[in-house]
Amino acid sequence: MADGDWDGPTVALRARARAKRFRLVLLEKDYDMPKRVLLGLLLVCGLAAPALAQEPKTGGVINAVIQPEPPGLMLAQVQNGPTQMVSGNIFEGLLRYSPKLEPLPELAESWSVSEDAKTYTFKLKKGVTWHDGKPFTAADVLFSMEMLKQTHARARTNLAQVDKIETPDQHTVVFTLKQPFGPFLGIFEVGSMPMVPKHLYDGTDWKTNPYNNAPIGTGPFMFKEWQKGSFIRLVKNPNYHEKGKPYLDEIYWQIIPDAAARSVAYETGKVDVLPGGSVENFDVPRLSKLKDTCVTGAGWEFFSPLAWLWLNNRQGPLADKRVRQAIMYAIDRDFAKDVIWNGLGKVATGPSASTIKYYTDDVKKYPYDPAKAKALLKEAGYKGEKIRLLPLAYGETWQRWGEAVKQNLQDVGMTIETIATDVAGGNQKISDWDYDIAFTYLYQYGDPALGVGRNYISSNIAKGQVFNNVEGYSNPEIDKLFAEGAVATPDSKRKEIYEKAQKILVEDVPVAWMLELQFPTIMRCKVKNLITTGIGVNDGFKDAWLDK
């Protein structure tokens, strides 16, 4: 089934063609062999290698699609996906993260951790100014933390371990933790912890501050205008603190409500960049075949969206572990990846995506095996009781996936009834625990303590909320492991703990893990260096340039 016109082979071919092109360039320069192979590999991986061969050019305008229109751009107060994508250009965090999730300097130029892993000292970059010309200092960091604790739910949780924050001088910030917290260096990305200007917000009503509509940050691009329903325009920050950057003059974020119209806008040349998720999957193969079009799945490593089926562990047949395991065996996840997701993504092995820390694939495996599923169902005494399936109302792809999973489960003898619902209705049902099987996908934020444990620990069973432990899985050993893992030192100890937790969870199947999703970014090949970090398009276009 690998032939045909899906995206997987196309991407590979394209990457190979690109690699060939650049390998030729390299041959002329007579690089030695290992280096050449390494570079070739980098190119195949779709990384920003062209920059090695070319100097960035300055100037030009990029048109990108933003979908849907963001509700606002004040990143510290609004955290929707599209807001993060646009405002990642306007605001900055203290750190950014490489595709391997190592911290990289942004507003903090260096950092150190004390011996007892409880004190983190950040040295801020000097000479950074806000878009209005005022200098960025440690006082702004302090103020941002204060605001985020009130306006940003995830930041509040991330900062829970912080005992106090001090600013010994204008360019130093010291965080003292109550106890060591392993993932602490992973919480400073712009969407999780954007820096806001104290001089504009201090003493005002944050919610109604006029700068919410024309945000001022330290980022490479400045907010210029927002024609509601049409476009958001950002212009180059001439005083940006990284000399020579950004390369682009302007970014237009085009707002196009219809998915088919977004594809057409790319085809007709109205837009140059389609960020992940902005067109339907089945359009991806067609669009990536277009001339001068490059596709990459990179830039989602920090978020690592993982799709799974919530299984209601509380009641009915699914309360039996063997039935849950049977579901894992019954579902053809390779089919879902190859056909429904056009070959993008990766079959999940367990609760952690392979891109996040302490991932291990040394766990029980669940290949597609209907016979085994049937045997397990029989052993568990399942007799065709009706099981309700709740698909995710996020468009065609998810609808088709729901149909395929339903068919897989029916093939092994389960009685499945699909419940049609919209996004809000689905959230309602899941948070009320009124479901048997439900589709979802969640971000993992690079560390099991930030994005994985929340879905399996029993203290997170709370009716009325949708992204916690809604499956009702409760295992004291898992609770203990995740509690220890968050604060254990050194790293090797954490690794040991999380690997153990993954093994137990995969054996118990509290939820049925499906795929590590990849949202391909489609762009014209003349757009270079768009994605350079693990945060991808959400990290801003400061490195991007146009090859004219």
Partner 1 sequence: MKQFWKSMLKSPSGVIGLVILLVAVSVAVFGPMLFPNSPWRMVQRPFLPPFTLSTVPLGTDALGRDIFAGMIFGARVSLLVGLVSTLAALIVGVPIGAMAGYFGGKVDDALMRFTEFFQTIPSFALAIVLVAILQPSIYSIVASIAVVSWPPVARLVRGEVLSLRTREYVQAAVVTGQSNSWIILREILPNALSPVIVLASLMVATAILLESSLSFLGLGDPNLISWGYMVGAGRTVIRQAWWITVFPGIAILISVLGLNLIGEGLNDALNPRLSREGR
Binding site for partner 1 (CB under 8 A): 1, 3-5, 259-260, 280, 282-283, 285-286, 335, 339-340, 391, 396, 399-400, 402-404, 406-407, 410-411, 417-422, 425
Are 36 and 26 in contact by the 8 Å Cβ rule? The answer is yes
Shortest Å distance, C-beta 254 to partner 1: 20
Query: Of 197 and 391, which has the nearer Cβ to partner 1?
Result: 391
What's the token pair of residue 117? 């892993």
Shortest Å distance, C-beta 371 to partner 1: 17
Beta carbons within 8 Å of 91's beta carbon, 6+ residues apart: 75, 76, 190, 194, 195, 196, 215, 217, 218, 219
Query: Of 118 and 262, which has the nearer Cβ to partner 1?
Result: 262
Query: Of 46 and 285, which has the nearer Cβ to partner 1?
Result: 285
What is the Cα–Cα distance from 386 to 500, expressed in whole angstroms?
34
Q: How far is CA 262 from the centre of its chain?
A: 22
| Burial (0-12, 13-18, 19+ Cβ within 10 Å), 479 | middle
Shortest Å distance, C-beta 339 to partner 1: 5
Question: Shortest CA distance to 141 belongs to which of 103, 94, 180, 185?
Answer: 94
Beta carbons within 8 Å of 319's beta carbon, 6+ residues apart: 313
Query: Of 230 and 407, which has the nearer Cβ to partner 1?
Result: 407
What is the Cα–Cα distance from 162 to 76, expressed in whole angstroms?
19
Beta carbons within 8 Å of 52's beta carbon, 6+ residues apart: 39
What's the token pair of residue 432? 């009320």
Shortest Å distance, C-beta 405 to partner 1: 11
Single-letter amino acid, residue 129: T
Shortest Å distance, C-beta 80 to partner 1: 23
Query: Of 151 and 263, which has the nearer Cβ to partner 1?
Result: 263
Residues in the chain: 548
Query: Of 96 and 406, which has the nearer Cβ to partner 1?
Result: 406
Shortest Å distance, C-beta 518 to partner 1: 19
Shortest Å distance, C-beta 353 to partner 1: 25
Backbone angles phi, psi at 288, to 5 degrees: -75, -15
Are 119 and 113 in contact by the 8 Å Cβ rule? The answer is yes
What is the Cα–Cα distance from 534 to 516, expressed in whole angstroms?
15
Shortest Å distance, C-beta 68 to partner 1: 18
Query: Of 1 and 33, which has the nearer Cβ to partner 1?
Result: 1
- Cis before 9? omega within 30: no
Query: Of 26 and 404, which has the nearer Cβ to partner 1?
Result: 404
Shortest Å distance, C-beta 385 to partner 1: 16
Query: Of 115 and 422, which has the nearer Cβ to partner 1?
Result: 422
| Burial (0-12, 13-18, 19+ Cβ within 10 Å), 383 | exposed
